[in-house]
Structure 1
Amino acid sequence: MSLFNDIVYVYTILLVIYALLSWFPGGYQSGFGKLLSRICEPYLSLFDHLNLRLGPIDFTIAAAIIILNLASQALTTILANLIF
């Protein structure tokens, strides 16, 4: 279970870095930005239908991170109860 939590933590960090790339001109067009896009976009596309934009600020990534961590905690709790 620790490996699962570590993977979720690393993916959360990648999502935060992906969000921060929007602050840099051409950040998404760099090699690193393209790599992060291939890693992050499939998950983030699940939240595209939600209108989480408030003016110029888009809260889609924040919602995705919160839901990812809540689901991770719930799954960890369920599995811990099944094992012990």
Structure 2
Amino acid sequence: MMLYTVLPYVSKAFDIYSLMLVAYVLMSWVPAVQTSAVGRFLQKVCEPYLGIFRKFIPPIGMIDISPIVAIFLLNFIKAGLFIVIQKVYFMFM
């Protein structure tokens, strides 16, 4: 029964971080928002994760596609983590 109480919280955490990434990317279009308190917070939270992808994925023209790859991988990790949590849970039942 504990499995079904943990999974929604894990899912929400991944969903919230994905939304934070989207908000951070959209903020790049409005430079004034980047210097606000929310902008600085999102930069501290999102940039370490996005920085990993920016090292390996060059921009295509003026478009940075690394956030798309980062969000895709985040969803892939979320699905994999769900499988691992379920396997571990049922192993100890």
TM-score normalised by the chain length of structure 1: 0.90
Q: Once the 2 structures are TM-superposed, how far is the Cα of residue 27 of structure 1 from its aligned partner?
A: 2.2
Residues 18-66 of structure 1: CA distance to partner in whole angstroms, max 9, x if unpaired?
Answer: 0000111322112211111011111112212112411000011111111
TM-score normalised by the chain length of structure 2: 0.82
Residue 18 (structure 2) pairs with residue 7 (structure 1): no
* CA distance, structure 1, for counterparts of residue 80 and residue 59 of structure 2: 27
More strand per residue: 1
Give ranges in structure 1 of 5+ residues lacking alignment.
none
Identify the residue that residue 70 of structure 1 maps to in structure 2.
76
Identify the residue that residue 23 of structure 1 maps to in structure 2.
29
Give ranges in structure 2 of 5+ residues lacking alignment.
1-6
Identify the residue that residue 38 of structure 2 maps to in structure 1.
32
More helix per residue: 2
Secondary structure of the equivalent of 2:38? helix
Whose radius of gyration is greater, 1 or 2? 2
Aligned length, in residue pairs: 84
- State which drifts further: 64-73 or 37-46: 37-46
Q: What is the RMSD of the two structures over their aligned residues, measured on CA atoms?
A: 1.2
Q: Percent identity?
A: 31
- Deviation >4 Å, runs of 4+: none
